[in-house]
Amino acid sequence: MARQLNLLIVNSSQQERSTIKNTLQNLDVFTFIECEDSQNALQLLKKQAVDVVITGLDVGKIDGWRFSRMVRSGLLKTPKNTPIVLIPPIYCERIAETTARSYSIDAVLPFERHRQLPHTLANVLSTHLEKSSRLNLLLLEPNQQRADEICQHLSLSFACTHVNTTNDALSLFRQNSYAIILLDATATRANAAKELVDSILKYNPNQAIVTIIDNRDADYAEQLLLLGVTDFVREPYDISILSKVCDHAARREDFMVSYAEFEEKVSQLSRSEQNYKDLFSAHQRILLHLNTVVMELDQQGLIRFINPAWEALSGFGIKASLGQPLSQFVSQEYQLELHDMLALVMSEQQQQAKIELQLNNQKNCQIWVECRFQLIRNSTSKATVTATLDNIHERKQAELQLRHLALHDTLTGLHNRYYFDQQLQNICSSVKGLNDVEHALLYIDLDHFKIINDSKGHQQGDIVLKEVSQLFGENISDEHLVFRIGGDEFAIILSNTNLLDAHIVAESICMAIEKHKFHSEENSYSISCSIGLTQITLENHDANECLKQADIALYVAKSLGRNLVHCYSKEDASNNTLQSGLEWGHSVREALQNNLIELHYQPIWDLKNNTIAYFEALLRLVVKNELIHPNQFIPALELLNDTFLMDKCVIRHAIAAVAEHDELNQIAINLSAQSFLDERLLPHIQACLVEYQVPAEHIIFEITESASINNLSATQAMIAKLNQLGCHFSIDDFGTGFSTFSYLKQLPAQHVKIDGSFVRDMLNDPIDLALVKAVHDISHSLDKRSVAEYVENIEIFKALKEIGVDYAQGFFIARPMPINELKKAIPTILSSKTIR
């Protein structure tokens, strides 16, 4: 389900807070948090993060400007680049914008324009970046030492860019925007400086420029000012003076415009109260009618009066529109609603009414407007309706854009999981009490999609997902809903569709995807999908249960060979078995997510040096206070494609244990085939090594022989990356496929584990003995260490030692045990095996 955005409103006025919420709540995008003063808001932000802040100006002892500075400080729980919108009661535009830049505020919007909030937030949320209040400064100074000194002293107020030549300065100026240009115009560089100033001001006459001069010639200084230089400093100068001159020059335009605005405000306030009221009323009347359409309708809904704003809005002339019904200009889908609302007002059931609808303009384009109606009676008690129409097209577009983003998958354009949950709940609720209504739910998974991501990259995987989405559009009619649930999983709700028709639709989807040719560079390939199907009827209308049934049916389809459709049936034994497996898998996943794991460690014995070489970390889960071994939970995780979660937990806990316990000099960690080719694996290993400060050479990773040769090139690449990191690598269960000996030399592993099935019977079966020797010999010939598993008695232990095998592992040496037991057992293990 898509997460809603947390929006913090800081405003001392309850009415203004409510107005802001009412303006935004129809978007169904935000979760609102309210604070009436800045200190309460800061206490909140010390504990939790929010996604957007809307603050007033007068919000307590810490005003809105300084409250914003606290957010930008990075001292709070919320990120320092959290978008901030300031809503003052009134403002001088230039002063507000200048101050906002200094305090790194994203947008300033007076409260009277609160209806523009959706559009403003859409812009802010799509563009907000790391905030900085420093102004950009371009410094031209050939002397590197002096340039470094100037940049250092100006660094608090300016982001300095230094160049040595006029050509470089002119080139950067044309590519970037700078609040100020500071250049060396001393006697030796006077002519070059004048030419540069002339070139810059021809390009941008308003560019602020400060020059450094070294003589007392007033004529020279006057020439520079006449050229258009903003200010100058004369050597020798105090560096603090230079900083002030630069700051004033950079903000000169802001000061001048702000002063003019401020002067106008003071001038207005200085006029007599009555003149001010008259002027204010006149302006209000002008503003009321300037962009707002005002019209009068008779009792039949015909237009009797209309102002010139109608032409600007609709494109229709005033004379041609008079005497016409307003409904004639309204889009078809809103005409009935408009008729009913006017009837309520005309009959005096409502004195006032408001509606948002679409007008068709002269170019036959649809424009969103907000209509307000009010009943008025004249001296003869004849009723008329006054109407005002405001253009809200931009606001509605912003609302629709935000709503679309909240309900759709950004990659494919299909509906997302959040919308799926809503619609599944709605359609399941709609069948209550209806015997003859049937719907269907399809749950779809692309077969072996992970191979595409691993072998061809995620960019190609994204292309496949987009093309599959287009295939859905071509094969599913508009009355049905298609969703991307996540990854390569999709769902389709087929409304008013019986089971047979739903099965036919599902089969057509399978066929369409299977027949489609996907292209990658010069190659083309095909994929398939598996589909689980369940009915939504009066007897089966619980949304959670329907989703569960479709999920089970999907996995049955996969277990039956993939590329097929399976309908859920309670009588299907495979469903019940799979359901219990899925439920167990979810319990296992929950245990991993809650870190309910326990690592046991089994020593690996060095047969040549008679000591413990390293330890293998073996996972146990704690489910309902019971210790669960891998053979009981790994199949369930494989069913859910969730073995990476298991390996991630083991890697973190094992590396943390190495950092905590000196006895664990080196440990081996098993990796599943799924995790080994997961792009998230290597960054996770690196992060854990850094977090716990463990040298990489203390870690050995193991993967089975069969998994390593399934994708040899990818395995080689991953082992090489782990070796480059400093980790060691081991091929586990080697020898089960004797034909794979040729692959061993292609894998840059340091250890080879001889499969335990050979070791266990090597003293009774000459073939097993020969295989053990062969694996050992070929390992040594490739400069790899051999490790024998399942060493369960002293006879096997001694035989391996005679063969020359490097390491041994098994119950004869020690059973796997928790770290605390292992610490106590190590002295006994060392003494008993050394004596032997």
Contact 368, 115 (CB under 8 A): no
Nearest to 667 by CA among 603, 761, 753: 603
488 flagged as catalytic: yes
DSSP state, 727? -
Q: Give the bridge partners for 139, in sequence order.
A: 162, 182
Residue 788: count of CB within 10 angstroms of its CB:
31
Spell 213-249 as b/e; 16+ CB within 10 A means b.
Answer: bbeeeeebbeebeeebbbbbbeeeeeeeebbebbbeb
Q: What are phi and psi of 176, to 5 degrees?
A: -130, 170
Extract the tokens encoding 631: 């053979």
Walk across the sheet containing 209-213 and list its strands: 158-163, 135-140, 180-184, 209-213, 231-234
CA within 13 Å, CB half, 413: 9
Q: Residue 555's Cα: distance from chain center in Å?
A: 29
What are the CA-CA distances from residue 510 to residues 269, 501, 530, 555 (Å)?
Answer: 75, 14, 7, 15
Residues 782, 788, 793, CA angle at the centre, nearest 5°? 155
* Tokens representing residue 482 in the block: 């298609």
Q: Is the dihedral of CA 306, 309, 314, 317 positive or negative?
A: positive
Count how many Cα atoms sit within 13 Å of the Cα of residue 168 in the half-sphere of its side chain. 11
Distance (Å, whole) CA 276 – CA 265: 12
433: left (phi over 0), alpha (psi -120 to 50) or beta: left
Measured CA to CA in angstroms, residue 782 lies from 735, 777, 787 at distances of 15, 9, 14
3-state secondary structure of 775: helix
Instruction: List own/partner pairs for 319-324 with CB under 8 A and 24 or more apart.
Output: none
Take residue 256 and report the two structure tokens written for it: 């001048």
Cα–Cα dist 751/758, whole Å: 17
Structure tokens at 558: 């996969």
b/e code 141-159 from CB counts within 10 Å (16+ = b):
beeeeebeebbeebeebbe
Q: In whole angstroms, give the CA distance from residue 437 to residue 107.
A: 51
Whether residue 564 contacts residue 510, with contact meaning beta carbons closer than 8 Å, is answered with yes
Nearby residues of 222 by Cβ (< 8 Å), 6 or more positions away: none
CA distance 566 to 558: 9
Return the DSSP state at 670. E
Spatial contact of 93 and 372, defined as CB atoms under 8 Å apart = no
Contacts of 129 (CB under 8 A, 6+ apart): 81
Instruction: Count each helix (H run) and each strand (E run) in the chain, helices first.
Output: 33, 31
Which residue in the list 51, 390, 445, 488 is annotated as catalytic?
488
Helix (H, G, I), strand (E, B) or coil at 426: helix
Sign of the torsion angle spanned by Cα atoms 274, 280, 285, 290: positive
Residues belonging to the active site = 488
